[in-house]
Amino acid sequence: MSSQVRFHVCRDCGQQFVFTPRRGKSSVGRGFSRPTRCPDCLARHRDGQAMPDAAVSPFGDFHLDSRLDHAVSEAGFDTPTAVQSAAIPLALSGRDLIGTAQTGTGKTAAFVLPILHRLLNTQGGASGTRALVVTPTRELAEQITAAVKSLSRYTKIRVASVYGGVNMKPQERALRDGVEIIVACPGRLLDHIERKNTNLGALDTLVLDEADRMLDMGFLPQIRRILRFLPSERQTMLFSATFAPELEKLASGALRDPVRVEADVCAPPRTIAHALCPCPQKLKTPVLLELLKRSDAGGVLVFTRTRHRAERLAKHVADAGFATASLHSDKSQGQRQRALEDFRSGRCRVMVATDIAARGLDINTISHVINYDMPDGPDSYIHRIGRTGRAQREGDALTLVTPEDHATVWAIERALGERIETRKLDGFSTGASGAASQQEKPLAPIRRWGPGIPRSSAGSAAPFSG
């Protein structure tokens, strides 16, 4: 289906290296299906040597249109991320591309910049919509649209976001007035196509973003329908964290001899500090409130398993005196946007959310992610904590764990390739008695959590010891 040569980006040095997969074998150790380190860094890692600083080229090496270089500089992008270094040259060359990268690595710019450059430098191209980005959620559509507007600020390129849950009329007017780029969710896009509000016959670039999540949400039939309205001669880029058989089949039909780019798929950014906090289920809320009291950092994103628990927990946190917003699928689009704006601006310090916020939520002020409920597995864990530590910033991820979570913790550690440190909240007893009792202990700091979560003295013990 795709080229046998796969370009990977080393999680330590940021350099590309070539890996040819062999069925049933692993080049990086037991339990891994793909490499995350180049051979040199893998050898250093095994020998306990220090890792080199990541070596990445400046954006100028991509030879982008000068208007884009100016916008990139104003956006504060000094150097490209690993996935940008790997994907942008291939996208600029016109190759079809399959990209797998951890969340928060600058993936959006990796496909937006080549699209903009192509639009600005195609002589005598057809008029009308030239690029389509299909994405699973309204929040992602808005964020990609914002990125396009930011990077195209010195051009006349127009973009429209198309998604459900809002009035169709403004979208219809934008599409009929003409836009070069459409960022859309599948269902609403098909509505506009069927009403002849847009014509995609001149399209030359298609991006399927977060394709695995679109598959999980049942959008695969809609995507197949959308493909029937597109010209066969086009460049297609597909980005996905995982590849189920159905997605592989879709890619084999939609892409032509694609090159795979895999950038640190199995691990979150190195800028994130991980910790587990053993805690009985009934003490999770008081422990969370105590963590919030002791933290003096930026925004805190708290993940729960269900929307009902998210709403209840948000009320508890707000009643404790913290400016709090909630985000889940029961909220209307207007409510979601207000919550995101309040959180992004700092008017709300805490956001309690379901996994609807686990992908694409690009808010640089998030310094802490707390898993109130254990995520379903390693992929969900990586996407959740990827909301912090973005764009080379530091972040902290803390997971409240019960003994029933042991299997999931083991799976996450296996995927990360390392143990997650267990830490205890000083001043709380979370032992078998189940009562939270204050203790007279000095409080030790942990990075930006403020005082109160020292490392467990039994660093090599099981995650639930003590």
Report strand pairing: 350-353 vs 324-327. parallel
Which amino acid would we find at residue 359?
R
104: pLDDT strictly greater than 50:
yes
Question: Average pLDDT, whole number, for the chain?
Answer: 79
pLDDT at residue number 357: 78
pLDDT at residue number 246: 81
260: pLDDT strictly greater than 70:
yes
Q: Which domains does the chain have, with CATH numbers?
A: 6-263 (3.40.50.300), 272-449 (3.40.50.300)
Band the pLDDT of 119: cuts 50, 70, 90: very high
- More confident call, 230 vs 76: 230
172: pLDDT strictly greater than 90:
yes
- Taking the model in full, what pTM does it have? 0.60
pLDDT winner (highest mean) among 52-56, 345-349, 449-453: 345-349
- For residues 239-258, average pLDDT: 85
pLDDT at residue number 346: 87
CA angle 314, 317, 321 (to 5 degrees): 135
- More confident call, 33 vs 405: 405
- More confident call, 259 vs 19: 259
- More confident call, 372 vs 33: 372
- For residues 358-369, average pLDDT: 77
435: pLDDT strictly greater than 80:
no
Which residues, including other chains, have CB under 8 Å from residue 136's CB and lie 6 or more apart?
185, 186, 209, 210, 213, 214, 217, 219, 359
Please give the Cα distance from 74 to 154 (Å, whole number).
11
Which amino acid would we find at residue 313?
L
Which amino acid would we find at residue 395?
G
Q: Which structure tokens are listed for 243? A: 């590849």
pLDDT digits (tens, 9 = 90+) for 192-231: 999 999 999 999 999 999 888 888 788 989 999 999 999 9
Please give the Cα distance from 293 to 303 (Å, whole number).
18
Buried residues in 216-246 as b, exposed as e (16+ CB within 10 A):
eeebbebbeebbebbeeebbbbbbbbebeee
- More confident call, 335 vs 241: 335
pLDDT at residue number 449: 43
Sign for the pseudo-dihedral over CA of 35, 38, 43, 45: negative
103: pLDDT strictly greater than 50:
yes
pLDDT at residue number 297: 66
275: pLDDT strictly greater than 70:
yes
112: pLDDT strictly greater than 90:
yes
pLDDT at residue number 8: 62
233: pLDDT strictly greater than 90:
yes
Report the Cα–Cα distance between both ends of the chain, in Å, rounded. 50
